[in-house]
A and B are shown apart, each in its own frame.
Chain A
Amino acid sequence: MNESEEESTPQNSGETVSDDLAASPEATQNDVRLADAAANEQVLSESRRYTRRAFLVAAGASIAAYGAYHYLYNDTRDLMQPPPLRNAFRFNADISRTVFDSHALAPTYPLSRARDLRVNGIYGLKDMLEPDSYRLQVVGVRDAQERSQFVPDVTAWEYRYTTTADKESAGTTPRWTQTC
Chain B
Amino acid sequence: MNLSNPAANADHASALSSHEPMAVERIRLERKHPLAIRWMHWINFPILFTMVWSGLLIYWNDSDNAYKYPHRVYRIGIGHFTLFRFFPHWFYQKLNVPYHVTEGLGFHFFFMWIFALNGIAYVLFLWLSGEWRFLVPERHSIRDAIQVTLVDLHLRKGLPRQTKYNGGQRIAYTGVIVMGAGMLLTGLAIYKPTSAHWLTSLLGGYEMARWLHFWITMGFLGFFVIHVAQVSLAGWNNFRAMVSGRELQRVEAPSLEEERKSWR
Partner of A88, one of B24, B109, B196, B257: B109
Interface segment out of the listed A31-39, A153-161, A166-174: A31-39
CB-CB under 8 A from A104, the residues of chain B are 195
Q: Is B39 positioned at the interface, with any CB of A under 8 Å from its CB?
A: yes
Decide if A124 is an interface residue (CB 8 Å cutoff): no
Known contacts: A1-B35, A88-B106, A88-B110. The answer to whether A58 contacts B24 by CB under 8 A is no
Beyond known contacts A81-B106, A100-B196: 18 more, CB 8 A cutoff: A15-B26, A36-B23, A36-B24, A36-B26, A40-B24, A43-B248, A47-B29, A47-B244, A47-B248, A51-B244, A53-B244, A54-B243, A54-B244, A54-B245, A85-B107, A85-B109, A100-B195, A106-B197
Question: Given contacts A61-B42, A65-B46, A118-B66, are A44 and B106 in contact (CB under 8 A)?
Answer: no
Docked Cα-Cα span, A61 to B46, in Å, equals 12
Cβ B257 vs Cβ A11 within 8 A: yes
CB interface residues, B 45-71, toward A, < 8 Å: 46, 66-67
- B110 closest partner in A (C-beta): A88
Among the listed A33, A61, A72, which residue makes an inter-chain contact with B24, where contact means beta carbons less than 8 Å apart?
A33
- Assess the A37–B24 pair: CB atoms within 8 A: yes
Whose C-beta in chain A lies nearest to the C-beta of B28?
A: A12
Does residue B192 face the partner (Cβ distance < 8 Å to A)? Answer: yes
Q: Closest A residue to B13 by CB, please name it.
A: A40
Would you list which residues of chain A between 90 and 106 have a CB under 8 Å from chain B?
Answer: 92, 96, 99-100, 104, 106
Give A80 to B102 CA distance when docked, in angstroms: 8
Report the Cα distance A32→B23, complex, angstroms.
8
In the complex formed, the residue of B with least CB distance to A57 is: B243
- Does B221 have its Cβ within 8 Å of any Cβ on chain A? no
Complex Cα distance, B201 from A167, in Å, reads 42
- Known contacts A1-B38, A33-B24, A50-B244; A81/B102 CB under 8 A: yes
Are the CB atoms of B29 and A1 closer together than 8 Å?
A: no
Contact A89 B109 (CB under 8 A): yes
Does B194 belong to the interface (CB within 8 Å)?
Answer: yes
The answer to whether A3 has its CB under 8 Å from any CB of chain B is: yes
B246 and A50 within 8 A (CB): yes
Contacts A85-B107, A88-B106 given; does A37 touch B14 at CB 8 Å: yes
Interface presence of B177 (CB below 8 A): no
Is B22 at the interface (CB under 8 A from chain A)? yes
Nearest-neighbour CB distance to chain B for A163, whole angstroms, equals 32
**In whole angstroms, what is the CA distance A156 to B196 when docked?**
34
Closest to A55 in B: B243
CB nearest neighbor in B for A37: B24
A44-B28 Cα distance, complex, nearest whole Å:
8
Q: How many angstroms from the CA of A163 to the CA of B27 in the assembled complex?
A: 93
Indicate whether B84 reaches chain A with its CB closer than 8 angstroms: no
Q: Which of A15, A51, A88, A118 contacts B251 (CB 8 A)?
A: A15
Does A8 interact with chain B (Cβ within 8 Å)?
no
Q: Which residue on A lies nearest to B65, using beta carbons? A: A116
In residues 6-47 of chain B, which contact A (Cβ within 8 Å)? 11, 14, 22-29, 31, 35, 38-39, 42, 46
Knowing A1-B245, A12-B251, A107-B197, say if A40 contacts B110 (CB, 8 Å): no
Is B113 part of the binding interface, using a Cβ–Cβ cutoff of 8 Å? yes
Contacts of A15 in B (CB 8 A): 26, 28, 251
Which single residue of chain B is at the shortest CB-CB distance from A17?
B26
A46-B26 contact, Cβ under 8 Å, with A11-B257, A54-B245, A96-B195: no
Residues of A contacting B22 in the complex (Cβ-Cβ under 8 angstroms): 29, 33
In the bound assembly, the distance between CA atoms of A15 and B67 in angstroms comes to 73
